[in-house]
Structure 1
């Protein structure tokens, strides 16, 4: 057996080909299954909330609970895996998730839904790590670095896969279908993990008493930040006073956590490492990626939802997105190397920019068949970008000090879980702002236009108002698509500038004056 370089990782054994194939399939299945659970709920949030008798705020709190738990787990559970092993956390968290699913089946309601969403958030981090370790067992030594990129890229498949499940099957009878499917997914994962366990894990004592204080403070940061980002758009940022108090709590918990970490000899987070320019650029790129990828869930799907369409009416579109994502994963896996990471990121960003530009030509009559090409491109760019972005951070760790591993993974995990909520909040708020801006313009023009005033007299003010409101909403989405396209091109320019500066520095180092 080959000893792993990091605590918490299993030993790497020599397996026969049939077992390596099974490990590879498990490595792809585990991240997808864990994230699909959340996608089944969040992708049908309004239907699920209505069936459960929840208000919009209560439904959004469920999303916040998942995001906060996922962000927190990526810090504490990572260290827990180093002390107790990956198999312990895989089986334990899957068992907890199954138990909360059964609780939801027999006692449906807001409380049990929240418990189930939190358990799913805690589970996702470990399942992704499990997927990475399964893939490492399957891949040859020269290709093992690809395990991280493939597992993270596979995670993106969860949203379109979940959208293929009929809405009525999920939300009928008080969301009974969702509870059953979520519990069955957890049970299937647990059964497969027990049938095909990972080799013995390399463990060590890593927890310190002060970790719990840091963990509690960072949990406060995760809860406040997730609540602000998910509820701000629903309750609106300036209309709800307690959102301001959540921001105060975020600042207080964050400041206290930083103070505690600075004063520790062996901190939970390496603050000095995280504040370096390289890691800040890594975090910026990862956040940019989540903002850009929100175009699919918030932009196009939002436009269709406004037109009255539900998931069941664009299953073919989801299949095109899945094909695009699989193509992106394949291209990324066969071309991945440290030298080509910037090139892959640029190609992915250009695909996203082109997709968003194509979507900006939509209108109120646009239907799923009109966006097959753009959404396939977006799916391709999604999976081509996310793997190399994480791999870039991992390479930085391996080149410096493996003690920074937890901090770097935490940065990436925060940018993915919190960044996803940030992207939805930003693009959703932009759409609402541009919609209102367009509505004001339409209204002022209608008052000054005699023909529109005559039409209003014949058709009725309510009919004209609804028509203008629909057109204003469409204008809001078109502005969002344009913003995403420009943002992707700016990211390309930034990466190109960094590559140019790096190249010039290398030339000057070789030929000093």
Structure 2
């Protein structure tokens, strides 16, 4: 089984890196020769950098990744907290995430060609300037309508940032280490942004509410701007790669993926069958993607190669990435949502998020040592095993479970995400590179769809499953809350007794006791629903592990049978 991302900006969570610019030596590459089969241009020779300069490039990559990651996750991590400062309902604040994802899920596809045509140096400068400008706009927004507009442009401005973070990390390493150490460290930086956003959010909210959330992001963007200006990337010659039809068909792709991202983000909150416009938007997205596919199939030099994407190898790769991204929604939407049901806020879970960050960093450092060609399936076995154990431990939660009881399980899940991505990314990118640079954009669309859009879909499915199971458990519990039951009557009397000093009327105390018991039953139903979701993730991960083991067994069996045959032939 190959691999996965938020969610991308999972999702989630949600957005992943765009590795489309990486040559085998790690330099930024011209995106696509204009004729199929034309040989790739030779990459610029690698020139070793002094240790201090290499460290600066790594630091620049880390800062850029944190800048992009915070912009993606600060709003998602504080949907409930920013309702007051913006004067909005929960459903309205969800549109902030939807507006960000709508352009972000597809724009890297076009930006990759723009980098090749106009030059990486100019592109990087304009990209960071745009990001600084949009980040600064957050500091003056104080209403939901303006915030949604700003978040849309934030999604546009953030699209090239993950690519720049990736390229700056790879710039420091020799060719033989770019796809191992470089990729592992870059993926680690992008993975820790989500828990880091939750760690810093309480302080930023105290400083200035909605505007305060983006003080740190704006400062990091300014520092990143300085690094990008002072530390140039190894850029190939400019190559005319953009055709007019690329832009036209990209518009269909952007509308299609953007519509799906919006539907996945807001669907669980408006509920799928309650808002008719959700179905219309979904139909628009599917129709736009259908038009894009038809156009690409009939182009001699397509923007993305649909036939390659639908090949058996790439479908397997994309399915693996999507499955793992869906499973990782257990951490993006599961643990946090569970503790929100229990009434905890981000500041009360700081240590848990620090554990997630520590586990991700440890897994990333381990990947730098163990990621080598041919080892991907075995690393994926370890990642899936961590995910299975972590999700199963979470499925045994109770109303008394606190963040400290999930340190081990969430640490395992965080490590699983980082362990899974680098080897899978290296395998998928290597497959595209073997066929030539024409296929890099096709690989990019697979990766983006499974990461950014996959993260949004994963979170939507997780929330939907929890909602359905909560209604089921609520109905089951409500059937057993009858006043004729002596145990229920005693519980109502006990809970109502707490109001004896303020409510002398026995009937009012009984009503308050019944309301309190109903609240406790609802909370218990939510806990049971989350346990069901955690267990479902564990079961799906177990199925994925079983399929991977069978796949490896078949491969080894074929090799074993081929061995004696080769010996007899010799």
TM over 0.5: yes
Determine whether 1:41 maps to 2:75: yes
Shift of 1:406: 0.9
What is aligned with 1:378? 413
Residue of structure 1 equivalent to 2:379: 344
Instruction: Name the CA shift for 1:326/1:72 in 2 (closer, same or farther; >3 Å).
Output: same
Does 2:470 align with 1:417? no
Give distance in 1, aligned partners of 2:559 and 2:237.
Answer: 39
Q: Does 1:7 align with 2:30?
A: yes
Q: Provide the TM-score with structure 2 as the length reference.
A: 0.85
Q: 2:542 aligns with which of 486, 489, 504?
A: 489
- The answer as to whether partners of 2:77 and 2:197 remain within 8 angstroms in 1 is yes
Instruction: Provide the residue aligned with 1:208 in structure 2.
Output: 243
For residue 101 of structure 2, the aligned residue among 62, 67, 70 is: 67
In structure 2, distance between residues paired with 1:387 and 1:125? 20
What does 1:108-147 correspond to in 2, within 5 Å?
108-146=142-180, 147=182
User: Partner of 2:499 in structure 1?
Assistant: none
Equivalent in 47, 56, 62 of residue 22 of structure 1: 56
Compute the displacement of 1:195 (Å): 1.8
Tell me whether 1:362 sits opposite 2:397 in the alignment: yes
**1:503 maps to 2:556:** yes
Match of 2:125 in 1: 91
Structure 2 SS opposite 1:145: helix
Aligned to 1:325: 360
Mapped to 1, the partners of 2:377 and 2:118 lie a distance apart of 36
User: Separation in 1 of the partners of 2:112 and 2:559?
Assistant: 36
Name which of structure 1's ranges 27-36 and 295-304 shifts more when overlaid on structure 2: 27-36
* CA 503–28 in structure 1, closer or farther in 2 if over 3 Å, else same: farther
Displacement of 1:124: 4.0
Q: Using CA pairs below 8 Å that are at least 6 residues apart, which structure has the higher relative contact order?
A: 2
Q: What is the TM-score normalised by the length of structure 1?
A: 0.94
Aligned length: 512
Quick check: 1:294–1:423 contact (8 Å CA) kept in 2?
Answer: yes
CA distance in 2, matches of 1:443, 1:489: 33
Do the aligned residues in 1 keep the contact of 2:26 with 2:170 (CA within 8 Å)?
no
1:150 is matched with 185
Following superposition, the deviation at residue 348 of structure 1 comes to 0.7
1:480 offset after TM fit, Å? 0.8
Per the TM alignment, residue 278 of structure 1 is displaced from its structure 2 partner at its CA by 0.9
Q: Counterparts of 1:145 and 1:443 in 2: how far apart (Å)?
A: 55
**Take 1:456 and 1:306, find their aligned partners in 2: how far apart are those partners?**
22
SS of residue matched to 2:126: helix
> How is 1:275-354 mapped onto 2 (pairs within 5 angstroms)?
275-354=310-389
* Alpha carbons of structure 1 residues 24 and 104: separation in structure 2 relative to 1, 3 Å: closer
2-structure distance, mates of 1:301, 1:67: 21
Contact 1:153 1:384 in 2 (8 A): no
Structure with bigger helix share is: 1
CA distance in 2 between partners of 1:123 and 1:508 (Å)? 54
1:445–1:107 distance in 2 versus 1, CA, 3 Å: closer
The change in CA–CA distance for 1:49 and 1:88 in structure 2 (over 3 A counts) is farther
- Using the TM superposition, give the Cα deviation of residue 174 of structure 1 relative to its aligned residue in structure 2, in angstroms: 4.8
- Describe the superposition over 1:25-73 as per-residue Cα deviations: whole angstroms up to 9, x where unpaired: 2233322321122212211111123321122222111111222222112
Give, in whole Å, the separation in 2 of the partners of 1:441 and 1:116: 44
Contact kept, 8 Å, 1:31 with 1:124, in 2: the verdict is: no
> 2: distance between equivalents of 1:65 and 1:488?
31
Q: 8 Å contact 1:11–1:199 — kept in the other structure? A: no
Q: Does the aligned pair in 2 maintain the 1:363–1:474 contact within 8 Å?
A: yes
Residues 131, 164 of structure 1: CA spacing in aligned structure 2 closer, same or farther, 3 A cutoff? same
Q: Deviations over 1:244-277 (max 9, x none)?
A: 1011101211111111111111111100000011
Question: Residue 163 of structure 2 aligns to a residue in which SS?
Answer: helix
1:231 to 256, 266, 269: 266
Instruction: Structure 2: give runs of 5+ residues left out of the alignment.
Output: 1-24, 32-42, 497-510
Is the 2:360–2:418 Cα contact (8 Å) retained in structure 1? yes
TM superposition shift of 1:110: 2.7
Do the aligned partners of 1:446 and 1:452 also contact (CA within 8 Å) in 2? no
Equivalent residue, structure 2, for 1:403? 438
Segment of structure 1 superposing worse, 268-277 or 7-16: 7-16
Q: Bigger CA drift: 67-76 or 113-122? A: 113-122
Q: CA deviation at 1:453?
A: 4.4
